Amino acid sequence: MTDRTDDRRPGDSSDPDRPSGVLGWLRWFRTVDSGPMLYVRDLLTSVALVLFLGATLFVISGVWPPMVAIESGSMEPNMERGDLVFVVDNERFTSEAAPVTEGGSTGVVPADVARTRGEANFGAPGDVIVFRPNGNTGRTPVIHRAMLWVEEGENWYDRAAPGAIGRADDCSELEHCPAPHAGFITKGDNTRTNTRYDQVTRLSAPVRPEWIVGTAELRVPYLGHVRLLLSTAPAVDDPPVAADRRTSTVRDRAVA
């Protein structure tokens, strides 16, 4: 039995061991080292750290979410399935070499321009972009390389890589030629499954700047597998492909 020299009870607000005021409770919460509140504090600290990191990446990238996971192998070997890729708004840090349309920079340097400048990105010339095929917001974004910039009405047949246009002999036999509007001709890097432009395989019309989510800037191997496991996004079927002179492609889908 413990003698008390005063009338204070352990639960009394005048107990010297009891925190008082907002600062007192905060100090106690910060220094507690046992009991359930320790686990609550650790959980809240982890959540706050994740939110801070996400907000920082958003401020830098201008895109939400700023990280996407690679879902398939059409960008191999330069990007692998399960990679986590950091994406930046293509209008945030623009290059002078990027095509300009309607008075503004597209922020994307296509492969033909990058090649003349001796520039490479993820193992090859040209920016890698995340875009929504045909601007369809209901479809999973695709991550492929920008190969050419074409103007509205342009006959781009002679600028195209011969191996990427199938058996087309001229512009009239080439899908989206003349170009129905200004945009980027795109393609996956995989030389086995993605030998042709996305516009030839009818994955998308020339990619308008407003269809672009952003440009890929950094990849982290393997971390994207976690995002893919947690993703509930439905699979997107490959678009129909004409059998006479085109083959279907396996493309990278970027899961936000």
102 pLDDT band, cuts 50/70/90, is: confident
228 pLDDT band, cuts 50/70/90, is: confident
Give dist(CA 150, CA 182) in Å, integer: 5
pLDDT value, residue 94: 75
The answer to whether the CB of 176 falls within 8 A of the CB of 224 is no
Report the percent of the chain where pLDDT is more than 70: 70
Kindly give the interhelix angle for 21-31 and 36-61, rounded to the nearest 10 degrees: 90
The answer to whether the CB of 50 falls within 8 A of the CB of 32 is no
- Per-residue model confidence as pLDDT tens digits over 106-147: 999 999 999 999 999 999 999 999 999 999 999 989 999 999
Give dist(CA 60, CA 189) in Å, integer: 27
On the CB side of 249, how many CA atoms lie within 13 Å of its CA?
30
3-state helix, strand, coil in the chain (%, to 5): 25, 20, 55
- Domain-by-domain residue ranges, the chain? 21-59, 62-255
Q: 217 — phi, psi (to 5°)? A: -120, -30
